[in-house]
Amino acid sequence: MDQNRLEYLFSRYTAGHATPEELREFDAMVQVPDNETALKENIDRLLYNASGSASMPESAIQATLQHITGKHAPSSIVRYLRNWWAAAAVIVLLGCSLYLLKTPKTTTVPLADKAPGTDKAVLTLADGTTIQLDSSGHQVIGQQQTAIRQSGGQLQYTVLHPAASTGYNTLTTPCGGQFRVILPDGTTVWLNTASSLRYPTAFTGTDRTVELQGEAYFEVAANPSLPFRVKTAGQEIQVLGTSFNMNAYTNEDYTVTTLVTGRVKATAPGTPEGVVLAPGQQAITAHSGNARIAVGSTNAADAIAWKNGLFLFDNASLETVMRCLERWYDVTVKYEVTPDIHYTGQIARNQPLSIVIAMLEQTGSARFRLIRAEQGHQTKDMIIILQ
pLDDT for 87: 52
Give the residue from 303, 327, 348 where a domain finishes: 303
| Mean pLDDT, residues 45-71 | 52
What CATH number does the domain containing 375 carry?
A: 3.55.50.30
Report the C-alpha gap between 152 and 40 in whole angstroms: 71
Please choose, from the candidates 36, 33, 9, 35, the residue with its C-alpha nearest in 3D space to the C-alpha of residue 23. Answer: 9
Specify the pLDDT at position 305. 96
Summarize the confidence of residues 356-380 as an average pLDDT. Answer: 88
Statement to judge: residues 184 and 245 lie in one domain: yes
138 and 155 in a common domain: yes
Tell me, yes or no, whether 165 and 277 share the same domain: yes
235 in the same domain as 311: no
pLDDT of residue 118: 96
CA distance 375 to 373: 7
268 and 237, same structural domain? yes
Domain co-membership, 326 together with 257: no
Report the pLDDT value the prediction gives residue 77, as an integer from 0 to 100: 58
Is the domain of 133 the same as that of 171?
A: yes
- Is residue 212 over pLDDT 90? yes
Shared-domain flag, residues 133 and 27: no
Integer CA distances (angstroms), 370 to 47, 107, 183, 357, 360, in order: 43, 14, 39, 9, 13
Give the residue from 278, 303, 328 where a domain finishes: 303
- What pLDDT does 94 receive? 47
Q: What is the pTM of this model?
A: 0.72
Judged by average pLDDT, the poorest of 90-94, 195-199, 216-220, 316-320 is 90-94
Average pLDDT, the chain: 83
pLDDT of residue 364: 79
Q: Pick left, alpha or beta for residue 32 (phi over 0 → left; psi -120 to 50 → alpha; otherwise beta).
A: beta
Number of domains in the chain: 3
Residues 36 and 73 in one domain: yes
**Are residue 370 and residue 265 in the same domain, yes or no?**
no
Q: The domain that contains 154 carries what CATH number?
A: 2.60.120.1440
The residue among 103, 131, 156 that closes a domain is 103
**Per residue in 177-212, is it b (16+ CB within 10 Å) or e — as a string?**
bbbbbbbbbebbbbbbbbbbbbbbbbbeeeebbbbb
Q: Are 263 and 230 in contact (CB under 8 A)?
A: no
Rounded to an integer, what distance in angstroms lies between the CA atom of residue 208 and that of residue 223?
Answer: 10
The range of the structural domain enclosing residue 90 comes to 3-103
The answer to whether 66 touches 82, Cβ cutoff 8 Å, is no
Mean pLDDT of 236-253: 92
pLDDT score of 321 more than 90: yes
Please report the pLDDT score of residue 1 as a whole number. Answer: 47
Asked if 178 and 287 sit in the same domain, the reply is yes
180 vs 149: CA distance, rounded Å = 12
Same domain membership, residue 272 and residue 152: yes
- pLDDT tens, residue by residue, 268-304: 989 999 999 999 999 999 987 788 999 999 999 999 9
